[in-house]
Amino acid sequence: MSSAIVWFRQDLRLHDNPALISAVKSGLPLIFLYIDDTNIENNWQLGAASKWWLHHSLQSLSQDLAKMGANLILRRGDSQKILAELISQADAKALFYNRCYEPYAIARDTKIKKMPDIEVNSFNGSLLVEPWNLKTKQGGYFKVYTPFWKSFRHEVLIEAPLPKPKSWQNFSKKIASDNLDSWGFVPKINWDKQFAQEWQPGEAGAEKALSYFLKNIGLKYNTERDFPAIQATSRLSAPLHFGEISPRQIWQAAFPQHEKFLSEVVWREFAHNLLYHFPQLPERNFQAKFNSFPWSTSEKNLKKWQQAETGYPIVDAGMRQLWQTGIMHNRVRMIVGSFLTKDLLLHWRHGEAWFWDTLVDADLANNAFGWQWIAGSGADAAPYFRVFNPTLQGEKFDPEGAYVKKWLPELAKLPAKLVHNPWEANIKLNYPARMVDHGEARTRALEAYKKIREDGH
């Protein structure tokens, strides 16, 4: 009996899944496959927090498929070899998948498309617009967000999401599958204990998060999204990365009432656009003049930043939130990023690597773009003279200290006027002294940034 393979990747859902819909239309019995590709470059193998999410997302997808009488086949190893074995074993005539846009995924898929004796069908299931479709008037790609957004709104027609298939024919022959637990994605030590309280990975959890956001938060998003103590964000970044929900589903549900929120969804598109056209983004400065930047090499300072021991409460609260929950509020991400790259003059790649391992929503395009943006080395980057003052940022966006006190209970007894500058409190605290004086650090940073600008590198 011939078959067709539906290869799940970053599209772990049954609704609005173009590859799945096309596979059903083929009329062939279907095999559902997920591969843990061990050939991905070592730097970009899944981080620990992402593995936790993926484990539970695959469990959810497997349960959803089981309700339709299907099994999710799990395999670990080289994707091309696994596909070749399965094609031979199941007499597969067609392969269906949704595209990924990371450089290593593009290289892998290019080889897979050349495999003999199989019809390969790929689709866009992750973005609102393909990275090669939006161009500047000169025919190049956008390097600044505002014109990208304007062009997107003028040129891109968002199609309606595809429905979940009502039925399909399952391949009846027994196909061997790995046991998900054997992959070891759930840590043996209990550092992830709070993850389960925070998150519900899987398609149902994503739909629930979107519904909650639109009903309870959406209208407050514009005015409250920068305040980390308030739940005023969508919490959809991880579901979007793993494809438990599509950007088309979000667009259809949120348009036109929530345009500011949707502009942030398009910010994600912009990041993927940059990664596609500049595939070195995760590893090289987008602006070459930063190649001569005098970064510090202090392992001691990096460790203090990672372990939430900087002495600046808003920074340490963010790093604690990240470690305990696998997420960090976006405003706080900018503050901790500025502190690492400008107050400590540590290379943005250190921050990128730490976030990659600790974020449940770690996404290559978003992570690389975000870190280069805050460091000033990227496209449409924050201006070099923007050095976030962690004390003033805390006072502005966490005025009562609620966010800081939640994640730093050792400061819970401080009054609001001292919670962001505890060094001025006339009491002994179980809290580290400031690593650096921000004013002095800012001067050092500006001198370093000014030098590379003057040198014209």
396-413 pLDDT, tens digit per residue, is 999 999 999 999 999 999
Handedness of CA 251, 257, 258, 260 (dihedral sign): positive
Q: At what angle do helices 330-338 and 390-397 cross, to 10 degrees?
A: 170
How much is the average pLDDT of 212-228?
96
For residue 389, pLDDT over 60 is answered with: yes
Query: What homologous superfamily does CATH list for 3-126?
Result: HUPs (3.40.50.620)
How much is the average pLDDT of 439-449?
95
Handedness of CA 274, 277, 281, 286 (dihedral sign): negative
Q: Write out pLDDT tens, residues 239-268.
A: 999 999 999 999 999 999 999 999 999 999
pLDDT bracket for residue 451 (50, 70, 90):
confident
Query: From start to end of 110-228, where are the E strands?
Result: 119-123
Q: Is the model more confident about 113 or about 1?
A: 113
Tokens standing for residue 129:
């617009």
For residue 453, pLDDT over 80 is answered with: no
Q: Where in the chain is the domain with CATH 1.10.579.10?
A: 288-455
Q: At what angle do helices 299-306 and 313-325 cross, to 10 degrees?
A: 70
Q: Where in the chain is the domain with CATH 3.40.50.620?
A: 3-126
- How high does pLDDT run on average in the chain? 96
pLDDT bracket for residue 198 (50, 70, 90):
very high
Q: Write out pLDDT tens, residues 374-384.
A: 999 999 887 77
Q: Which residues carry out catalysis?
A: 264, 267, 295, 330, 348, 371
DSSP string, 334-349: HHHHHIIIIIS-B-HH
In this predicted structure, what is the pLDDT of residue 189?
82
Q: Where in the chain is the domain with CATH 1.25.40.80?
A: 127-159+201-277
**Cis amide prior to 256 (ω within 30 degrees):** yes
User: For the structural domain made of 127-159+201-277, what CATH number should be given?
Assistant: 1.25.40.80
Burial class of residue 167, CB neighbours in 10 A (0-12, 13-18, 19+): exposed
Q: In which order are the strands placed within the sheet that holds 92-98? A: 72-77, 30-37, 3-8, 92-98, 119-123
Q: Any idea what the Cα angle at residue 158 is, between residues 154 and 161, rounded to 5°?
A: 170
How much is the average pLDDT of 125-133?
97
The verdict on domain 288-455 having CATH code 3.90.230.10 is no
Q: Write out pLDDT tens, residues 291-339.
A: 999 999 999 999 999 999 999 999 999 999 999 999 999 999 999 999 9
In this predicted structure, what is the pLDDT of residue 455?
66
